[in-house]
């Protein structure tokens, strides 16, 4: 078995957990392929394993021999991992070295359990849909897809913008707002939820369109099938606006033509058998919590 290890960086007080992970993998004779920048930042951890550890720098270095990529960090690290995996169908196992860890739901204290699950195949793979961005100008060219959401937002202190929105070419609405979110089911528990959008189940096959600070009392989030192509025309006093695709950001002309659709491939997220979407809602977002119960 071969696993890749990715992280944006490990805090000094987390190096012991990283060392423990490497020991666990070595004990099970699992070959490791480590992200180059991670290995360079922590030579004191990886130097004893130089002979057995390979290095990767990006998507092209990951091949069919990789059985899983272990993401060490928070949910943002999982989003990074998705852009590394792209369409190669390599499962992502997220270990929470961050804070909330909604996607990276496996705790640091479960390292041994997670490795054992990988070795014995006692885990569940959840298929998550992605959102794809098409545009008539260069934007997010290396990875024009996201696991969470695509966002159009006014720039800085500019006044609100008008976002004319179409579903399969048919006019839906003009949003007078600070911006607009198009979320996948996975992203529905993120920015979408913070702006009053609904939580939808990962397997629901839908997008959620949620306005950001709308200037209309009768405008509400809407759930649509993810077979829909969503397109936009933007008006505003400023000449530029911001587009976000997960954690990536681009400043573009308001003249850009944008269309959103479901990506042709999916991302596979590994979870332990005892975990579920509902249990994560309860534990991470205190769903239904009432101190009287």
Given the residues 13, 50, 61, 75, the one annotated as active site: 75
CB-based burial, 207-231: b 16+ in 10 Å, e otherwise? bbbbbbebeeeeeebbbeebebebb
Phi first, then psi: what are they for 265, rounded to 5°?
-115, 170
Strand partners, 6: 71
What is the C-alpha R_g of the chain?
20
Angle between helix 111-120 and 15-27 (nearest 10): 30
Indicate if 75 belongs to the active site. yes
Is residue 95 a contact partner of residue 84, using CB atoms and an 8 Å limit? no
Q: Which two tokens stand for residue 264?
A: 């042709």
Contact 267, 92 (CB under 8 A): yes
3-state helix, strand, coil in the chain (%, to 5): 25, 35, 40
Active site residues: 75
């Amino acid at each position: 078995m071969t696993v890749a290890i990715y992280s944006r960086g490990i805090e000094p007080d987390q190096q012991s957990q990283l060392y423990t992970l490497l020991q666990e993998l070595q004990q099970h004779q699992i070959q490791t392929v480590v992200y180059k920048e991670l290995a360079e930042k922590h030579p004191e951890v990886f130097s004893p394993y130089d002979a057995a550890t390979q290095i990767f720098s990006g998507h092209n270095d990951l091949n069919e021999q990789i059985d899983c990529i272990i993401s060490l960090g928070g949910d943002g690290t999982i989003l990074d991992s998705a852009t590394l995996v792209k369409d190669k169908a390599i499962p992502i196992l997220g270990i929470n070295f961050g804070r909330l860890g909604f996607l990276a739901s496996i705790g640091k204290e479960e390292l041994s359990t997670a490795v054992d699950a990988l070795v014995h195949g006692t885990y569940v793979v959840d298929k998550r849909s992605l959102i794809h961005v098409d545009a008539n100008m260069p934007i997010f060219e290396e990875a024009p897809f996201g696991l969470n959401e695509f966002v159009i937002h006014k720039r800085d202190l500019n006044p609100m913008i008008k976002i004319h929105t179409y579903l399969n070419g048919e006019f839906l609405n003009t949003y007078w707002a600070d911006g607009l979110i198009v979320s996948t089911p996975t992203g529905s528990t993120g920015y979408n939820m913070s702006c009053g959008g609904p939580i939808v189940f990962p397997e629901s096959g839908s997008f959620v369109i949620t306005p950001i600070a709308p200037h209309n009392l009768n405008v509400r989030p809407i759930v649509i099938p993810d077979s829909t192509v969503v397109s936009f025309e933007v008006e505003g006093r400023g000449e530029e606006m911001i587009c976000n695709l997960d954690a990536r950001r681009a400043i573009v002309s308001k003249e850009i033509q944008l269309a959103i659709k479901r990506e042709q491939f999916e991302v596979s997220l590994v979870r332990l058998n005892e975990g579920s979407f509902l249990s994560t809602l309860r534990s991470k977002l205190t769903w239904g919590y009432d101190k009287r119960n």
